[in-house]
Structure 1
Amino acid sequence: MLKPLVRAGLGAGLKSWPAVLLFEITYKIAGYFLFLNLWELLRSAMLRALGVSVIGQQNIGLVFRDPMCVLLLLCAFLLLAFYVYLEVTALVLYCEEGWQGRSISVWRLWRRAFSRSLALFHLRNLPVVLALVPVIGLSALPLANGFVGKVQIPEFIFDYIKGAPALFAVFLAVMAGLNVLLFFYLFAFPGVILEGGRYRGALRESGRLLKGRKIKTALALLVCMLAFLLVALLLSACMILLLWLWSKWGAAPDGGRGLFTFHYLKLSAMGGVLLGVLGPVSLFSAVLSLYHHYRGDVRPEPVPAKRSLKFGLPGVLSVAAALILLGIFSETELGGSPYAVPQAGTVVVSHRAGAAFAPENTLAALEWSIREGVGMAEIDVQQTRDGRLIVLHDTDFQRVAGLNQKVWETDYATVRTLDAGSHFSAEFAGERIPTLDEMLEAAKGKIELMIELKATGHETDLVPRTIERIQAAGMEEQCVIASMDPDLLRQSKELAPRINTVYITVMAFSERYDLPYVDGYSVETGFLTAELVATLQTDGKKVYAWTANSDASMLKIIRMGTDGLVTDNPPLAEFFLNVTDRNYFLDSLTDLLYPAADRK
């Protein structure tokens, strides 16, 4: 069964490839402008409704308590859901036309997808339609090529989940369950979209079709997708070979290396967009082929194409338009081109003083950062019951020292007896929880400090005492005071205008970010956008992004030209800062194809 299925699936997916390519590119462009303008309107309306200048995590609860804001968010989510299903519907319709052996134009695909998507939002379908939107975004299956298909769990949340084995096991179980659920819904989509059914009935039909065939079906889908990837790999190899032969045709001084590199970069960018489009197409082509096979449907015989200039010209124009638009689109941010040109001066900030290489928020971690030449270290400051300023992130000592007791309920004498190093490794056994004074002394003249003040509601004169210690150390120019509580930053700026302040926030939504008591913003990487960076820097504010530990998040931050990158892994961040524009695969490939002897 697999060989005919693969042939039928690939054939259906490639039947009118210019049409689906044009659809996907125009779909992305339309979505970008639609949601960009929608976001501007939504943000302005919510700020006016709440009467605030900035919406961040400290006041996000106001949004969900205001009826107008809730209504606006609901309308925005409905529009987002329609946008998601517009793409899914188009892919199902496109693959069905291919399975039937018919061609389809991009205009007809748009019209049919739009009308069928509206029909999905029947009252009986609505709960399932809305519930599936986040599932589609988080799925491991390539169901969508739009920005919803690239939804990711914020890195700081994912790092927290990974750090707790039991929680991580639950997370994996939930994700597996969501993908299994989506597997069943894959075979419900044709019944709902093509036949105008309801999800409840379509899901029952999906269960009937897959009865006794679940594993076989999953393997068949996997084989089809692997076949698609194999074809893509072979085509890439052919492209490389042809480019190499063409570059050798002339007598360039470098043996053709420069010509090869230029065209390889252009074609690989176009190929990346094409793969992103045809990946979901290959999946839905396989699903439609299996769907019809399980129903016992007979695929119509292909109708011979009429060969004449009249009938051939639209096809030629469609291919030309698709390739031209593909070339233009691949050079944009939407097509995967870097967000912005990397800017010099991005400082690496060691999260919790250097948490990946020594116990977090300890002198050992800070000393490691100093030895490595890191530009800045971020530390967390809290108050004990007797008012001492200690460096600790959590509100209790359980995770780092094994004492299940709140910081504000503990005297400093007890804190001094705790071992904050053994949980990291035996090498750091006996490492103590330091005071702010100890960290300032160790850092003076060696590394800048971003001092995050943790607002627990139990502190007493936290800001004045912190500023007093900074001033006593003579480090006003070497320290930055940061916090998630804007009131602490306001106090800091009033007491010590010379000390810069940074507002740490998961998100920051505003029309203006020029708060007089905030000198910079530190934004969670997942919510960082090129627009936000440009707006903040135009307002004279520094921009930091936290906490970036993956390759993708570091590259995103660097390419957006932020002022600082907060990470647990400074060496990796420094590496990417130095090689952002390098393509190691291309370097290795050209070294292989153009030996040094050819370039003399």
Structure 2
Amino acid sequence: MKHFLRQTDEVIKWNLRQLVVFVILYRLAAGIFYIRAVNGLLRFSLSMAGYSYLTLGNLGAFLWHPFTLPCVALALMGGMVLVTVETAGLVTAFQASAYSRKMDLLGILGGAAVNTWDQIRRRNWQIFVASLGNYILMNSYLLARLLTKVKPVDFVLEEVLNLPAARLGLVILMTVLSAAAVPSMLVFWACMVEQKRFRDGLRRSTELLKGRWIKAVGALVCVNVLLMGGLMLLYGAAMALAAVLVTLFADSYAALAVLTAVCGKAEIILLFAGAVFAVILDFGALTVLYYRFSQSRREQEDSAKRYPVRRRTEAFMRIVPGRREIMRRWLLLFSGVLAGTAAFLIFDMAYNGMSSDWSVLGQTEITAHRGSSKMAPENTMAAIFKAMDEMADYCEIDVQTTADDVVVVCHDRNLKRVAGVDRLLTDMTFEQARSLDVGSYFGEEYAGEKIPSLREVLEACKGRIRLNIELKSLGEKSSLPELTAGLIKEYGMKDQCVVTSVSLEYLKRVKAADPDIRTGYILAAGYGSYYKNEFIDFISIRSSFVTRKMVEAAHENGKGVHVWTVDDRGEMKQMRLLGVDNIITDYPARAREVLYGDPGAKNLLEFLKMGLKHG
């Protein structure tokens, strides 16, 4: 085993930097393109099926819709092609390493393209299926972590894993899947290096592993255990560092919420890094196994100190020098365009947000009611910034219009409570409303806080926090729905904003202005089948009226469920167990602590606070 690990280390080191750059850039570029493409297919198939949201409740009916199956097949084929290209690039790079030869990024890209085209030309369609299966197996931990963030899969998994029989069944299932994958472990080298058809390649892989599969599996398990140990140490160190920084710099009331969010992001980064290094380690180990098993026993004895070289030239390297230079130029141009487009799409995703078509499959989200209204005056910029500090997913704001048709953020029509002025906001111009102080009533430190316009809020929140914009009911003649929809479109924030109202007519007008803007119907009571209305995408209802049956019925109809106003810790837990999609609360930091707080993180935070206090 020691000799195997040393050989694996050597073969990885030859092109490690280029491999890391290739895998990271390829996964970012291909991943962004794939997510966008799948999202487009999802939107199309959802619209054809007549749903607003994809939920676990309507998933079965959605999948059986005539337009859905072709879209799913297209997405699956696209995924198989993308993972096969990555596999081909890895085989190309490690084949060069087996020759003790350096390879640049363009060489890896060229080899990936040539090897993939060879599989298509020889009609090795099975290699694409094998590549997808291999990808799933190598990224199983990452995929398992992602599944635990899908609602209500996390609850189901927790219940299942508590049953001994279920745990045993899961072990048996994983054993069967792994056993099925073992014979095809070296098929990529047989097909891409030895240029075999898939059936012959599978036979070759089986022959090479005959009597050696225990050694091969043991070697792969060993390198992955070492990687997982390193990742766990890195995560512990990152968590400890984050706890120290949060203790020193974050507000005490939001410290645990910030730490929970930071640790969650750190986990995602480490999972991505782990997936990158896992595939490099696994392919490096498989390369060593392939060449070792391909040798005769005498050659193995003679190569104790030297990694074996198999005298076969990569397809990309067979290109004559003149044509190779032309191809390098084209590859350089293509990779530059690809990297630039990927960078733009990544920025766009981070700044404008992702589509919410499948948002109800994620964790229960948290909305700050009128901003963080217990920490700052409601519906002000200060409250919105506090909601960001408390790691809220959404900030709920109320909007209405002034006499000169400027959309402003304010809950009360009469300003006496928040500004001490007994006048209706709709009777004042924006400049008159802007001159009022709506912060002093909350505390002296907020004296001079102004009523913000919706335009000002959109500018401040774009790329930072999503908005739940409630339209106050101002009568049929009000242009509030159209003005609000127009501002959301102007700022390109349709994926960052939802619009809610107690008026179905207002929501209908918003949909008429732009069908892609998400709308929610605010209900005081849970009677009737409002979730079946075509002009709403979710219902927003008082928490005391929510039942599991109502949530299931809404989800079956492709609608989300938001609940208000949930401030009690026990009720927060109850809403999460009911499977609601969004909790609207005056205490977003508390909600994040209750719903997703890690006891270990809380204990570490308390320990650090105690140490700093007595230090």
When normalised by structure 2's length, the TM-score is 0.45
When normalised by structure 1's length, the TM-score is 0.46
